[in-house]
Amino acid sequence: MMVTGSKGFLGKSVIHLLQESNWDIVHFDLQDGDDILDYQQVISKLQNSNLCIHLAAVADVYDAEADAERCQMINVEGTRNIAKACVDTDVRLLFISTVCAYGNNGNLVQTEDSPLAPTEIYAETKAEAESILSSIENLDYRIIRPATFYGSGMRDTLAIQRFINASKNGRKIEIHGNGTQTRCYTHVDDVALSIMILSELWPDDIVYNVANPQPTSVIELVEMIRQVSGENLEIQHVEDRRGQIFCSSIDVSKMKSLGWAPTKDLLYGIKELFS
């Protein structure tokens, strides 16, 4: 199989898990000079594969906002390239999207049938890429929509890492808005596990949510970090981020029906990051 973005945060966890299960893996990563916008390069590397796990993307919301054109090219046109190459080589495609595509759609709980209403450029490009996949004839594909995932090696811009860094360095923790917004923080290894399960089973349904189903507010997240660190953390509320998703509650019953379940809760994950 080929894994795009194989050296990224999620990619490293996926590769580790697949190697433990003795999968033959072809790496495809920008760090090695691989470009998902180069169709011939994609075709060449896809040869002799039966599955492409497509992780490569502009994944940081701040990077996406700073260069929307680049985000559009990589997340949308790059995915189109990968999908067409998969059709031409008769390779199955597993695309990693995001629950952020649900945005603020008004639903209290998001199922895979919930309407997509992205509020930020990153999520907009993921939703557009999903639409493209559905329009390509003869493409055998599945989609995973993971929740906000975290773990060792995550980007410094992710809230959990920012708060932990502030805690370790005696700085104020800056919270966008009032801090009541919720996320279903999910350990990166649990997302990787869902990818392996879907790759092995290749069930009939197209889209699968992946999340620790327990929503946690930002204020609650800070309290967990305070509990683990033992520090009396000072909070400073700052202007809310544009496109903020206010409530995230994710139904994962479809993924659980395949035998998947989160193995690491948030408090365990935070302790792991402090160890």
User: Residue 68 is part of which domain span?
Assistant: 2-274
The per-residue pLDDT for range 112-140, each reduced to its tens digit, is: 999 999 999 999 999 999 999 999 999 99
- Supply the DSSP symbol for 54: E
pLDDT reading at 231 higher than 90 = no
Rounded to the nearest integer, the mean pLDDT of the chain is 95
What would the mean pLDDT of 77-83 be, rounded to a whole number? 98
Helix, strand or coil, per DSSP, at residue 252: coil
What would the mean pLDDT of 183-187 be, rounded to a whole number? 97
Long-range Cβ contact pairs of 17-25 (< 8 A, separation 24 or more): 17/189, 17/192, 17/193, 17/195, 17/196, 18/196, 18/199, 21/196, 25/1
Measure CA of the first residue to CA of the last residue in the chain; give whole Å.
Answer: 34
CATH number, domain with residue 189: 3.40.50.720
What would the mean pLDDT of 204-224 be, rounded to a whole number? 96
Whole-number pLDDT of residue 15:
97
Q: pTM for this structure?
A: 0.96
Number of domains in the chain: 1
What would the mean pLDDT of 209-224 be, rounded to a whole number? 95
Q: One-letter amino acid identity for 207?
A: V
The per-residue pLDDT for range 7-50, each reduced to its tens digit, is: 999 999 999 999 999 999 999 999 999 999 999 999 999 998 99
